[in-house]
Each structure stands twice: as C-alpha cells, then as structure tokens.
Amino acid sequence: MELVKNVVCPFCGTLCDDIICKVEDNEIVGTKNACRIGHSKFVHAEGAERYRKPLMRKSGELVEVSMDEAIDKAATILAESKRPLMYGWSCTECDAQAVGVELAEEARAVIDNTASVCHGPSVLALQDVGYPICTFGEVKNRADVVVYWGCNPMHAHPRHLSRNVFGRGFFRDRGRPDRTLIVVDPRKSDSSKLADIHLQLDFNKDYELLDAMRAVLLGHEILYDEVAGIPREKIYEVVDALKNAQFGILFFGMGITHSRGKHRNIDTAIMLVEDLNDSAKFTLIPMRGHYNVTGFNQVCTWESGYPYCVDFSTGTPRYNPGETGSNDLLQNKETDGMMVIASDPGAHFPQKALERMAEIPVIAIEPHRTPTTEMADVVIPPAIVGMETDGTAYRMEGVPIRMRKVVDSGLLPDREILKRILKKVKEIKAASK
Amino acid sequence: MSEIILTPKEQPQVPLEANTITPDSFAGKNIDEISNIAIWNGNKQFRLSEFFDVQGESAENPSEIKIIIDGDIYNTKRIGQSMTAGEITVKGNANMYVGAEMDGGKITVEGNVGSWAGQDMKGGELTVLGNAGDYVGSAYRGDWRGMSGGLITIHGNVGNEIAEYMLGGKMVIKGNVAIMPGIHMNGGLLIIEGNVVARTGGEMKGGTIVVKGVIDEFLAGFKYLGVERNIEVEGEIIEGAFYKFKGDLATKGASGIVYAAVAGNGHIVPK
C-alpha cells in the first residue's frame, strides 16, 4: 500500500489540503485526516455506480457509443438550440471552466453555475455593497469573535470549526477558549450546541433581526421589544459582543442566502460588517458548498465580466439573475437544450425545472449514474478532478489551491471533453454560415 | 398622430427580444422597412414580420407615432425599451423589461407584465392595467441608481423589491405588494394603495413611501414620529390619517419617510 500525502479534498469549499490517501492497485482504499464526507468521495462509498464509457439514449435506453459519436451529438445539441443552457461547473477545475465559458460564447448559450441555487444571492449583494473578506489564515490566527449565521458547519463543512475555531492561532494560542462563538440559526443544531451564544431567531426573519442590530449599532432605539423572536436586551448584548471584537468574522450559509429576501439579507449583513469596522475589525466569508463553486465565479468574471447567469445569446455577455438563472430559464420554459457538467440538478432542482429538463435534450458530463444522467440524452464520463486528474480550485474565501492527481483512470478530464465539443461546435457553426 | 398596428402571430416558446419596437426606431421608416427591422429569438435574429403583421403609417418624428400591438405578446421582452417619445399600447400581456430605460412618451399595457418593468426609467409614463412582476422601476443589477423620473402606474398587484434604489419620479401601485417595496430608496415617491407583506422601505435613505392598505410586518429600525392628517407629499395632498415613520435608521444618515394609514396599521406602532 502506498501513502499519497498533501492531497486536496475535492468535496466542500473548505478545500482541506492535508489529506493522506491510501492507494492499492491504482485505487484509493482509505484516507487519513479527511472528514466522513470527504472520505466517502475518495473511496466511492455508498454503492456509487461509475460510468466509464460514453452513453447515448437510443429508443429510450442509454447505450454505449464511441467518444466521437457522443461529442458530435453534444455539439449538435448546443449548436442547434436557440437558447442553450450550460449549467453546473462547481465540481471541476478552473481550466475546464475557462473552456466552458469559451464554449458558451461560441454556442451563444447561457452559462450558469450552482451559485444560482446557493450563494448567488451573496454574489448579488456583494456587487451592490462590497465584500470585506479575509482568508482562513487570518481567522485562525486572529479571530476572537466567530459568527456562523444560517449554517451548520458540523454537518455541511465538518472540518471548518476545527480549522477556524478550535484551531490554535498566533494570537489565539489556546484556540477555542480564546474565541467567542455565536451561532444564528432558527434550529438547534450540532453547531449551535457548541456556541457561547445561540440566537434562535424566527424562520425567515434574518433581515428583520439584522435591521434591528444595525440600528442598535448606530446608537438608535428600536421600535419593538422583540424582533424576530429575539428580545431587545439580547440584541444589545450581541451587538456589544460584535463591536468589541478585536477581529470578528461572519461566516454565512444557505440559511440566510435562501431565506425570505435572499440577497437583501446578505446585503444588510455585509453592511452590518462594514459598519462594525467603525469600532472593531470585522470581516466575512461565505460558506461555499461545492469545492470549486468559488472558482467558477472567478473564472467567469475574468472571462466575461460577470460571475454567473451569463447570457451570450446576442454575442455580448449580459447578466440578470431572475431572468438568466438556470431555474428561471427552465421554469419559464425558455431554454431548449441543456448541458450539465460537474453537478446534479436532477437531484436538486425543483419539480417545475425538472419537467422542462425532461422535455428538452440534455447532455451530462458526469462520472456517476445520477438523477441527471437518468434524464440525459448523452452521457460523457470524465476523470474525477482531485483524484484522477489535477487542476486548480478556489477555496471558499478565494484562495486558489492546486488539486492533485492520485490515481489513473484512463478517462479524459473535463477540459479535454469540452475542448473537443468546442472544436465540433465551431465546425458546425462554420458549415452553417 | 400616425398609427402603426403590429398584430402578433404565434408567440414562440423561446422568448422574443424586441427592444427595436419603439417609436424612435420606427420613425422615418416606411412599413416595408419596419417589417424588416431585426428582433432576437434566443440567439438568432429574425425580421419583425416573421412574428408580427405590420400595418399602418409611419411618421418622421417619433413623437407623432403610436404603435398598437393588437394582441397578446406574453413571450416578448423589452417592448418600448429606451423610448424617448410617442406612444405604445399593448392590448394583451407582455414579458420582462417593458419600458426599461424609458426617457419619454407613453406606454400602456392592458394585460400583465413580467419583471423589471420601467427599470432605470428616466421619464415618460408607463401604465399597466394588470399585474406586474418583481423589480418594477428598479435599478440595473448591481447599480445603486434606480428610477430617476417619470410616472409608473400599476393597477394590479406587484412582486418584490419594487422601486429598488429609486431616486426620483413617482410610482403608484393600486394593488398589493409582496416584500421590500422601496428597498434602498434614495428619493422619489412610492404610493401603495393595497397591502404590503413586509420590509417596507428596508435600508431606505430618502424619498417617501405612502401605504394606504395594511402593512403586515414592519422593520424595527424606523423611528415613530406620530400621526399626521391629510399629508402633503411632492406637492400633492393625500387625504386621511397616517402614522409617520423615519428611517431606515439601520443605514447611516437615513431620512426616508414612510406613511402608513392609521386604519389597519395599529399593530406596527410601538406600544
């Protein structure tokens, strides 16, 4: 058995880079340091069914075809659709994403990543009011007040707390005892159990609570004795703790980005952080889910000027989540052809969006059998990034980390598959001119 | 006034984008030339006549042109975008961005419209007899300067975040509103005759919001200033008794005003 050290985990946005993989006969059989979720991905637990040959749906059944035939079919769907949608991107590396943006421009498609159903609202908010962000290193070494708002890292990002709260840092040499942990969540969770202060607010009242906290921070009275189920005195106590921070950090997740008001919750949370900097040092980091969801927003922004939901239909990039988001396009029945890569909307999108996916041709570039591949017309299995091929990913706060190749699968990486589709789309477009 | 009648043929499933349907782009063209104006269907361009029968008479000056769209164009976006003069009447529904960036003239839609109607409006008049979606009279995504002039009247109900970052002009909603009307508002006047669910004037710094119906939930960051009768806003008198609030004090230097009718709104006044 061989031990491969310093492997980067291709699961969540925490992007732990200290994993040791146990390799036997070109297969990962075990891990050290990884959390349970990361470990499962490395060792293909839970009976995952892996595709190794391209497939096409013929008379209702997926049958094996040659790579050329699958690429041809995928390119034809993209080139012939009037409003093709290219969705996913968050579980692949940045070079593949860059080819993807070029392909979207060539096919005059809309390109969108999973941010549109997770931290898209955060992206909208930071475009409106800014983004006072920092890195994990600063949190570990400096943070004395740590807030988790609308997230449960013990389950979703299992090593996040151990790296950022329990971990010992330069100015926080005792680790956890040197930090005040505040969790804001309507529910009791395994994260809230660890908190010094748990603000158990009412569902969908994040904006109301933040509005009251901001008014209190600026020295105003608030209208009511209780806001979002939190008594006035408690709000004063928490604001006091925040504004006396030497170095405060707000981590925020889906519980606030997708509760009522969405991006406006984040907008006012960012402004709270900004106003806190009048008396404290305060920063924030979004709890990004997929390991390279942040990377796509970076790549797409430097290629097109916009982070996601980019519409190339008229040849110039345009951007308006609410119109050009994947769910908008599917639920309004605007899109007439879809490519899915490195994500599984079949398992996560609402029923109405899936109904449209079932009506239109779908291409899936996907290593496993998933609900998405069940409704796909073409399936092209790639090598898995971070295990079977290398590439760059961006950690949740925007630090790029090089992913390693641990074993050999003999499959093409996403970027190669996309380059072949791009070449074919160019040929089809040239022939039709 | 010369009339140009566009009779829609069947609306395609992939939406049309017709920001060229304005008196400004029709002016000085004859009917044949207007029929050949390009519109987008997804990522492909077609002649206007592929999707509309074009009849009537054009004129040299956009202010002398009235465009009548004689039917339902529920899947056509950007009608009247950036128009500066003349008139457009839609005898049915229309999709997103009706009258976006409008600077003058008049648009009337007899049915419902999609989101972003009157986005970034600078002048003119936009009237919708049915319902409108979200972001009526909003800013462009990421911009902090929304509607700056003109008049928007929606007779039906509207969605979220109307009058977002509003700077000036007037908006009247005769029906009900979902959440966050006047979010980040900096100026202008928003009158809501129906009810509001929540977050009226969130993060507003200026401007005035008048709610004649019931506000379900109100934000704690406002300051209560008492009851005022027959209020005067932007030169007009609105009759009745109103609770007056200043805010949203969650934002620095805020001096926006929210009036909420005394009838039905006792629950939002501090005890």
- The stretch A307-330 carries a mean pLDDT of 97
Residues of B in contact with A316 (CB under 8 A): none
Does one domain contain both B11 and B145? no
Task: Report pLDDT digits (tens) over B144-158.
Answer: 999 999 999 999 999
pLDDT at B10 over 70: yes
Q: Across chain A, what does the average pLDDT equal?
A: 96
Does one domain contain both B68 and B155? no
- The residue from B111, B136, B154 where one domain ends is B111
- The residue from B111, B131, B154 where one domain ends is B111
pLDDT classification of B234: cutoffs 50, 70, 90: confident
pLDDT of residue A429: 94
Residues of B in contact with A322 (CB under 8 A): 115-116, 134-135
What's the count of helices (H) and strands (E) in chain A, helices before strands? 17, 21
Does one domain contain both B89 and B138? no
Cβ proximity of B31 and B94 under 8 Å? no
Domain containing B29 equals 1-111
Sequence-distant (≥ 6) Cβ neighbours of residue B32 within 8 angstroms: none
Does one domain contain both B89 and B58? yes
ipTM of this model?
0.96
At A385 the three-state DSSP class reads strand
| Beta-carbon separation of A220 and B135 below 8 A | no
Residues of A in contact with B161 (CB under 8 A): 264
In this structure, the number of other CB atoms found within 10 A of the CB of residue B182 comes to 33
Does one domain contain both B73 and B95? yes
- The residue from B89, B111, B133 where one domain ends is B111
Sequence-distant (≥ 6) Cβ neighbours of residue A386 within 8 angstroms: A7, A8, A9, A10, A93, A291, A393, A403, A404, A406
Q: How many domains does chain B have?
A: 2
Q: Tell me the C-alpha distance between B178 and B193, whole Å.
A: 13
Q: Tell me the C-alpha distance between A129 and A247, whole Å.
A: 21
Does one domain contain both B47 and B169? no
Q: Tell me the C-alpha distance between B203 and A271, whole Å.
A: 10
pLDDT of residue A432: 86
The residue with tokens 């984040």 is A266
Task: Report pLDDT digits (tens) over A134-154.
Answer: 999 999 999 999 999 999 999
pLDDT of residue A46: 61
Question: What tokens were used for A256?
Answer: 């606030």
| Beta-carbon separation of B13 and A336 below 8 A | yes
Task: Report pLDDT digits (tens) over A344-369.
Answer: 999 999 999 999 999 999 999 999 99
Does one domain contain both B86 and B168? no
For residue A210, give the nearest of B267, B42, B199, B63 by alpha carbon. Answer: B199
Task: Report pLDDT digits (tens) over B104-148.
Answer: 999 999 999 999 999 999 999 999 999 999 999 999 998 999 999
Does one domain contain both B92 and B120? no
Residue to mutate among B41, B219, B245, with most A CBs inside 10 A, is B219
- Distance of residue A305 Cα from the nearest chain B Cα, in angstroms: 12
Does one domain contain both B149 and B100? no
Q: At what angle do helices A94-107 and A67-80 cross, to 10 degrees?
A: 50
Task: Report pLDDT digits (tens) over A378-432.
Answer: 999 999 999 999 999 999 999 999 999 999 999 999 999 999 999 999 999 999 8
Q: Could you give the maximum distance between any two Cα atoms of chain A, in Å?
A: 71
Does one domain contain both B94 and B225? no
- The stretch A30-53 carries a mean pLDDT of 89
| Beta-carbon separation of A323 and B96 below 8 A | yes
Q: Tell me the C-alpha distance between B98 and A422, whole Å.
A: 36
Does one domain contain both B186 and B102? no
For residue A73, give the nearest of A407, A346, A377, A397 by alpha carbon. Answer: A377
Does one domain contain both B60 and B129? no
Among positive and negative, which fits the CA dihedral A88, A92, A93, A99? negative
Cβ proximity of A157 and A301 under 8 Å? no
pLDDT of residue A142: 97
pLDDT of residue A433: 78
| Beta-carbon separation of B220 and A212 below 8 A | yes
At B83 the three-state DSSP class reads coil
